Amino acid sequence: MVKDIIKLPEGTITRQELTDLAKSQLLDKLRPEYQPAQPPARRWQDKVILGEIAPGSTVLDLGCGRGELLGKLIVDMGVKGQAVEVDPEAAMAAMELGVPVLNLDINEVLGDFPDLSFDCVILESTLQTLKEPLRVLSEILRVGRRAIVSFPNFGHWRVRLDLAIRGRMPVTPGLPYGWHDTPNIHLFTLADFMDWRAANEVKVAPGFALVDGQVEPLAEDSNISAEEVLVFLEKERPIGVGK
């Protein structure tokens, strides 16, 4: 039985209020039209990353898509880049931009790269699609001095409403897929991610949130306000290692 009063971290809500909300048309208006298999635009992450990468550094882009970001880094900033992309069409589009691409699954290739062989490893909007996300996280922190990870935040208020009140799998701009065709097999919230971070001696420096289309630094309430998250990760290493 559902209790009459439901306690949420952000406050309480009565059962009647919940039912009213579920019935109201307001939520349907908030829900974007379902469009199958339209991957979310990632331009905002690219912009942030472009501003954070030093010219001439070495960058591994895992799941590079059509290679816009790494292509730019190579051409404009003299970065020495390597990309991995499993989709053949996207891989060829990336090669067209002059990006060296391994048309392979991320899990197949990470073992080929030596410890700390890149200044930076990028994993954009891919973590939630992986079979073994934690293994890949620890691998990218082995291979790179720094890792850049972005993901849709399942803790975003719109996601919570969709699931809690409408009782439907959430469809948002950051998670635009249907339950049946989503590549996102390991969804998680920013809070979940931060738990992993704390347990694994990984520091976030810096972190960004996409809030109502605006990029903001990560804040206390990001787990509910951030639609997508972008974090720069570094393994806490003993002094002198990895320099």
Partner 1 sequence: MSVDGDEIKNVHGPDHPNSVGWTKAQKITLYEDEANPLVLEAGGKLTAIETEYETYGRLNDSASNAILICHALTGDAHAAGWDLEPSGSLREYRKKKPGWWDSMVGPGKAIDTNRFYVICANVLGSCYGTTGPSSLNHETGRPWGLSFPVVTVGDWAQTQMELLTRLGVHKLRSVIGGSMGGQIALEMGLAYPQRVGSMIILSAGHRVTTQGLAFNAVGRHAIINDPNFNSGDYYGGPQPIAGLAAARMMAQITYLSEESMGYKFGRRLRGKDSLDFTLTGIEFEMESYLSHQAESFVRRYDANSYLYITRAMDYYEAAEKWGQGDLTKTAALIQAKTMVVSFSSDWLFPPDLCRELVSAMCRAGCPVSYVNIPSRYGHDAFLVETEAVRRLITIFLRD
By beta-carbon proximity to partner 1, the closer residue of 102 and 218 is 102
By beta-carbon proximity to partner 1, the closer residue of 88 and 178 is 88
By beta-carbon proximity to partner 1, the closer residue of 86 and 229 is 86
* 4 backbone φψ class: left, alpha, beta (φ>0; ψ -120 to 50): alpha
d(CA 91, CA 95): 6
Smallest gap from Cβ 136 to partner 1, in A, equals: 16
Smallest gap from Cβ 119 to partner 1, in A, equals: 12
Smallest gap from Cβ 118 to partner 1, in A, equals: 9
Q: CA-CA distances (angstroms) from residue 34 to 11, 50, 176?
A: 30, 31, 7
By beta-carbon proximity to partner 1, the closer residue of 102 and 194 is 102
By beta-carbon proximity to partner 1, the closer residue of 118 and 193 is 118
Smallest gap from Cβ 148 to partner 1, in A, equals: 19
Smallest gap from Cβ 117 to partner 1, in A, equals: 6
Residue 164: partners with Cβ closer than 8 Å, 6 or more residues away? 18
Name residue 58's beta-bridge partners: 80
Residue 106: partners with Cβ closer than 8 Å, 6 or more residues away? 62, 63, 84, 86, 126, 130, 136
Contacts with partner 1, residue ranges (CB under 8 A): 58, 80-82, 88, 91-92, 95-96, 98, 100-104, 109, 112-114, 117
Smallest gap from Cβ 149 to partner 1, in A, equals: 21
d(CA 83, CA 140): 13
By beta-carbon proximity to partner 1, the closer residue of 49 and 90 is 90
